[in-house]
Structure formats: C-alpha cells, structure tokens
Chain A
Amino acid sequence: MDNFFLAIALVLSFLVLICLYRAVFGPTVIDRIISVGVVGTKTLIVLLLMGFIYKRMDMFVDISLLYAILSFIGALIFAKYFVRKGVL
C-alpha cells in the first residue's frame, strides 16, 4: 500500500504544479487567491498520505488539521481585505 500512497502523492503534487500556472499568470487577483486555496486543499491530502509513509499518523493529522483551518481562514481574510482596500 505504501507504493500506492506514494503514487497518489506524486499525482497530487503534479496537480499542484498545474494549479501554479493560474497563481503566476492569473489575469485577476481573485484567480490567484483561488489558486492558493486549491493548492492548500491538495497539500492537506498530501500531508495525510505522508503520515502513512512515515508511520507517524498521530503527528501528521494535527498538522493537516491546522493546515485546513489556516487555509480556510486565509481565504476569508483575503476576501475581506481586498474588498476594504478596493484593490479588485
């Protein structure tokens, strides 16, 4: 099963690379914010799979929970901040 998890983690990392296209060349600011959120979601799953590969699930699960909460709050803060600053 370790090989399967490793392959899935590689596929997800490749998808993260594709998503970075929008973060770099995205036409608007919102595109870049969405792209950061999508990368955060995939990183969450990669972190959980890394827990299986390193056999330290109890530690990695806390890290990925914090990562989920931080990327959720990050999206909310970006949304508020850009409206107030009038950057969009």
Chain B
Amino acid sequence: MSILTVVLNIVVIVLISFGVFFFAAGTVGFLRFPDFYSRMHATGKCDTLGVVLSCAGIALYALHDGLSLGNILVSLKIMFIAVFWFLGGPTATHALLNSAFNSGILPWTKDGKAIIEWPPK
C-alpha cells in the first residue's frame, strides 16, 4: 500500500463524509422548517452541494487502480453527473416554486406581509 493510495483514500473519505453531512443537514431542515418554501431552501441547496462533493469523492476513487482509459472515462462520466446536477438542481427548485407561486400559495411569514419591496425606502 503506497503512500499515494493512503492520501487518495483519506481525501475520498473526507469528501464523501462532508457530502453526507450536508445530505443529513438538508434532511433535518426538510423535516423542521415550517412551510415548503423554506423546506426548498434546505433541500435545494444542501442536496446540490452534497451531490457535488460526493461525486467528486467517487470520481477520485474510480481512479484508484491505475489510470487506464476505462477508469478515466468512468471518472469523467461521474463529473458530468455532478455538473448536470449543479445546473439542474436550481432549475428544478425554481420550477416547482414558480408553479406554486403562480397557483396563488403565499409563504408562511411572521408578520403576515408576504411580498415586500426591496430595498426599503
């Protein structure tokens, strides 16, 4: 077991652990926030970063037994999944919230004013 393999394994473990931590935080937020606009904050953001970090770790580990052509292709494909999710996650979040807003559902607020002008005069 060479020193390079040990370093690679440690980097992979750190990346995937952080990804799973963000997944867990997103799930807890998904259960605790008061309405679905706020729940979207938890899922839309934490899941995006979780997927990107986990995919980076998995793409690194796909190279662990040598730089053959097949391994590089697999690693590139996993990076494409990460990039696709990076672009697609915000779009899906935005589409769902847009349809909810267009159907006239207003978010839960503390003071009852749903839409405020910005910046305040």
Q: Which residues of A contact B (CB under 8 A)?
A: 1, 4, 8, 11-12, 15, 18-19, 21-22, 28, 30-31, 33-35, 37-38, 41-42, 44-45, 48-49, 52, 57-58, 61-62, 64-65, 68-69, 72, 75-76, 78-80, 82-83, 86, 88
Contact A48 B55 (CB under 8 A): yes
Q: How many residues on the B side are at the interface (Cβ–Cβ under 8 A)? A: 45
Judge whether B106 is part of the interface by a CB distance below 8 angstroms.
no
15 A-B pairs with C-beta separation under 8 A? A4-B16, A8-B16, A15-B27, A21-B31, A30-B100, A34-B96, A38-B26, A41-B23, A41-B51, A45-B58, A58-B73, A64-B81, A72-B85, A78-B96, A82-B103
> Secondary structure of the B side of the interface?
helix
Complex Cα distance A12/B83, Å?
Answer: 21
Contact of B36 among A21, A34, A72 (CB under 8 A): A34
Using Cβ atoms and an 8 Å threshold, which residues of chain B touch A88? 99-100, 103, 105
Give Cα A80 to B9, complex, Å. 43
